[in-house]
Amino acid sequence: MSLPAPRKKRRIHFDDDEGPKRSHSISSSPSTPLQKQREQLPIAKERDALIREIRENDVTILLGETGSGKTTQVPQYLLEAGLAGKGMIAVTQPRRVAATSLAARVAAERGVKLGSLVGYSVRFDEICGADTKIKYVSDGMLVRELLSDPLLSRYSVIVLDEAHERTLRTDFLIANLKSIQVKRKQATDVKGKGKCTSSAVNPLKIIVMSATLDAEKFSRFYHNARILYVKGRQHPVKIFYTAVNQTDYVDSALRTFFQIHLDQPPGDVLIFLPGQEDIESLEKSIKMHAKRLPVLVSLMYASLPPSQQARIFSATPPQTRKCILATNIAETSITIPGIKYVIDTGKSKEKRYLSKDTGGGFDTLLTRDITKASAMQRAGRAGREGPGFCFRLYTEEAFNNLAAASEPEIRRCSLTQSVLELKCLGQDLETVEFMDPPDINSVVAALKTLWILGALDDSKTLTPLGRQMASFPVEPYLARIILASSTHECTSEVIDIVSMISSSSKLFLDISDQRDAIASARSKFRHPSGDHLTILNTLRAYQEMAETENKSSRKEWCKQHFLNERTFTEALKIRDQLRVTCGRVGLDWRASKKDSEDPVLRSFTVGLVQQSALLQPDGSYKQLMGRSVVKIHPGSTLADKKVPAIIFDELVYTNQIYARGVSSVPRSYFNGATPAIPNGS
């Protein structure tokens, strides 16, 4: 893509185009002790009143501007006031990066080692100890704890942070905490009368927090709970809108970045874009134009490995401006030191369930306009250490027309895992009191999937297999594959592949101008049946090499084969956890076959029966269960091949529907795979 020189041409005009003045400087001094910083936060003035209210009320809804100090301070106030009692304080976060970085910050504020008094727990990673009292936890992890401890008896206080995001897991917790609180209260009353032996008798306090929340709605749900407002923000953020709407938001972001870079005082820049592709394209353009003007570009999106995401928090070298290109995963909760300028494209990707009626039957990501709540959260990432500036790449009128808040995930995402989790708790999605009830079609689709996987019987009752599936920290279909591998005696191989699939980073690096070199470097791993066994071959080759080679040779080996080493390291950690879970459910993960091709593919077919397609006479592939015609993704080892039947990990919806992570299987594998599957096509 050729781009105009950003400075001279097509300057973007903002409504107040004087822009931030050069005289602005960041006010906080690096030598300021953390304690002093704490005392200066707006919430500090309200500390005593807050504690009093929380002590008196079972549920508190707390609203305060971004950066006012809710997330880092409230848990510490609770601890200092003795409200944790003998239990712990959990603070939920919709995103893992927020949970890990907040725990590190609060541990530093208290002068303790991370994992002692303050810890965190996110999927596949936990740093906590016996003396942990404040635990930052992803909402998904707290849901998992619920499965083994239905009264969450280890916690005295649960803080639901960033509740406005209304993730499926947060909604799940909002609903369950309401009934848990009643049960624990009853237990306390009974114990008071000397009749109870339960240890989970301490009452539970619930605190719901956000900067952008429909507080009245939450209050009504929790029996008119008390709403508290923390006034004020620590530093101002000046907002600029474009004079006219921008059609190409990547190009506009590029030009706005250089307007800041060339004209404005030091300070790092955070740019919000919808997805990885836009981020990579903007990264290239910035690097191309910034040759003589030092810019350090860092990236932040969900599929980047956690260790790489963490780089955005590292210090900016002197005389350099850091520019972080992020999706909405950097939108809430986190403080990125140095950020003074935010550029908001006004777009994000939103997960949506495409129903079978529209040719789907799967979750997909669609680029959409953000909401007012998101715009405010994005602006709030500036102005955390000093005055900040937010450049919105849309007009003020467009902002006024944005929806106030996004539709809750429960109304737009696949519910399969949630239904399974509720079943394990003895509940039904249809009968649980949610803040917003789910769409009945999504409930039916989830029940059907679980029945096909064998997690539910004909009367929608949880089967022993379903309970085993819920024990695994992966999607139900992957858990089903692992359990099927026990029958086919290939659990070792299957867990290897499932771990690689579950890793958050892409294994195969794709560099468009080196396609031939890539194909030849990786040809030795290629398995004729497709991607699943190719992944296994690649992992085996990596492990064999890693046994004898040092760190730098391993890195070189990965580079030569265009592979992402982080995928291997992350997958090996995930594998450890899956092996432990196998042990817990009585499965021998060491089970392995010499010739594993057939058993592995049979196991995968059991879990992927809904993610399969059959070759049609016209050469296209049609979903076995569903109406979509799908194409094999160009990145697959089976791209352009015609095989009678395929199974795949996921569907990607662009201008076509692509199947990704594809293997070829004989049609006969589907016979009897489930009672609902028709024979052949």
Ligand X SMILES: Nc1ncnc2c1ncn2[C@@H]1O[C@H](COP(=O)(O)OP(=O)(O)OP(=O)(O)O)[C@@H](O)[C@H]1O
Residue indicated by tokens 């092996």: 579
What is the Cα–Cα distance from 578 to 572, expressed in whole angstroms? 10
Distances from the Cα of 469 to the Cα of 272, 443, 448, 455, 545, angstroms = 37, 19, 16, 7, 34
The answer to whether 521 and 478 have CB atoms below 8 angstroms apart is no
For residue 206, what are its two tokens? 């619930």
Q: Which is nearer to ligand X, 68 or 256 (CB)?
A: 68
Question: Which stretch, 63-71, 131-139, 220-228, 544-552, contacts ligand X (CB under 6 A)?
Answer: 63-71
Q: Are strands 205-210 and 88-93 parallel, antiparallel or unpaired?
A: unpaired
Binding pattern for the stretch 6-35 against ligand X, x by CB under 6 A and - elsewhere: ------------------------------
Spell out the residues 6+ positions from residue 564 whose beta carbon is closer than 8 angstroms to its own: 505, 506, 507, 508, 509, 558
Q: Which is nearer to ligand X, 95 or 144 (CB)?
A: 95
CA angle 509, 510, 515 (to 5 degrees): 125
Taking the CA atoms of 326, 96, 353 and 668 in sequence, report the sign of the dihedral they define: positive
Decide if residue 68 touches ligand X (CB under 6 A): yes
Looking at 92-160, list the stretches that DSSP marks H as alpha helix, in order from N- to C-terminal side. 96-110, 139-148
Q: Which residue of 100, 132, 252, 335 would you call a contact of ligand X, by CB under 6 A?
A: 335
Question: Which stretch, 64-72, 416-424, 487-495, 574-582, contacts ligand X (CB under 6 A)?
Answer: 64-72
Minimum distance between the CB of residue 267 and ligand X, rounded to whole angstroms? 14
Q: Which residue of 60, 66, 406, 567 would you call a contact of ligand X, by CB under 6 A?
A: 66
Q: Which residue of 6, 67, 466, 607 would you call a contact of ligand X, by CB under 6 A?
A: 67
Q: Which residue of 203, 337, 359, 666 would you call a contact of ligand X, by CB under 6 A?
A: 337
Task: Name residue 109's amino acid.
Answer: E
Minimum distance between the CB of residue 97 and ligand X, rounded to whole angstroms? 12
Minimum distance between the CB of residue 108 and ligand X, rounded to whole angstroms? 8
For residue 233, what are its two tokens? 């923000």
Neighbours of 197 (CB within 10 A): 8
Decide if residue 530 touches ligand X (CB under 6 A): no
Decide if residue 234 touches ligand X (CB under 6 A): yes
For residue 654, what are its two tokens? 């662009």
Task: Name residue 40's amino acid.
Answer: Q
Binding pattern for the stretch 415-434 against ligand X, x by CB under 6 A and - elsewhere: --------------------
Decide if residue 259 touches ligand X (CB under 6 A): no
Q: Are strands 362-369 and 347-354 parallel, antiparallel or unpaired?
A: antiparallel
Question: Which stretch, 67-75, 141-149, 174-182, 314-322, contacts ligand X (CB under 6 A)?
Answer: 67-75
Identify any residues that bridge with 563 across adjacent strands, giving them in sequence order: 508
Decide if residue 406 touches ligand X (CB under 6 A): no
Decide if residue 64 touches ligand X (CB under 6 A): yes
Residue indicated by tokens 């066994």: 533
Query: How many residues interact with ligand X (rule CB under 6 A)?
Result: 20
Q: Which residue of 71, 176, 328, 502 would you call a contact of ligand X, by CB under 6 A?
A: 71
Q: Which is nearer to ligand X, 26 or 614 (CB)?
A: 26
Taking the CA atoms of 428, 431, 433 and 437 in sequence, report the sign of the dihedral they define: positive
Nearest by Cα to 302 from 354, 339, 348, 269:
348
For residue 628, what are its two tokens? 């979509």
User: Which of the residues 100 through 139 are near ligand X (CB under 6 A)?
Assistant: 105
Decide if residue 93 touches ligand X (CB under 6 A): no
Classified as helix, coil or strand, 470 is helix
Minimum distance between the CB of residue 125 and ligand X, rounded to whole angstroms? 18
Q: Which residue of 211, 446, 479, 571 would you call a contact of ligand X, by CB under 6 A?
A: 211
Q: Which is nearer to ligand X, 211 or 571 (CB)?
A: 211
Decide if residue 384 touches ligand X (CB under 6 A): yes
The answer to whether 279 and 299 have CB atoms below 8 angstroms apart is yes
**Measured between alpha carbons, how far apart are the two ends of the chain, in Å?**
44
Taking the CA atoms of 526, 531, 536 and 542 in sequence, report the sign of the dihedral they define: positive
Minimum distance between the CB of residue 61 and ligand X, rounded to whole angstroms? 14
Q: Which is nearer to ligand X, 327 or 529 (CB)?
A: 327
Decide if residue 309 touches ligand X (CB under 6 A): no
Decide if residue 72 touches ligand X (CB under 6 A): yes
Q: Which residue of 73, 259, 492, 611 would you call a contact of ligand X, by CB under 6 A?
A: 73
Spell out the residues 6+ positions from residue 460 whose beta carbon is closer than 8 angstroms to its own: 428, 447, 451
Question: Which stretch, 111-119, 344-352, 378-386, 600-608, contacts ligand X (CB under 6 A)?
Answer: 378-386
Question: Which stretch, 61-69, 239-247, 298-306, 546-554, contacts ligand X (CB under 6 A)?
Answer: 61-69
User: Which of the residues 448 through 507 are near ligand X (CB under 6 A)?
Assistant: none
Question: Which stretch, 69-77, 125-133, 275-283, 585-593, contacts ligand X (CB under 6 A)?
Answer: 69-77
Question: Which stretch, 76-84, 331-339, 590-598, 663-671, contacts ligand X (CB under 6 A)?
Answer: 331-339
Q: Which is nearer to ligand X, 64 or 438 (CB)?
A: 64
Own/partner long-range contacts of 489-492 (Cβ < 8 Å, ≥24 apart): 489/591, 489/592, 489/593, 489/599, 490/591, 490/592, 490/593, 490/596, 490/599, 490/600, 490/603, 491/582, 491/587, 491/588, 491/589, 491/590, 491/591, 491/592, 492/589, 492/590, 492/591, 492/592
Question: Which stretch, 62-70, 118-126, 142-150, 165-173, contacts ligand X (CB under 6 A)?
Answer: 62-70
Decide if residue 378 touches ligand X (CB under 6 A): no
Minimum distance between the CB of residue 286 and ligand X, rounded to whole angstroms? 25
Note the residues at the interface with ligand X (CB under 6 A). 41, 64, 66-73, 105, 211, 234, 332-333, 335, 337, 380, 384-385
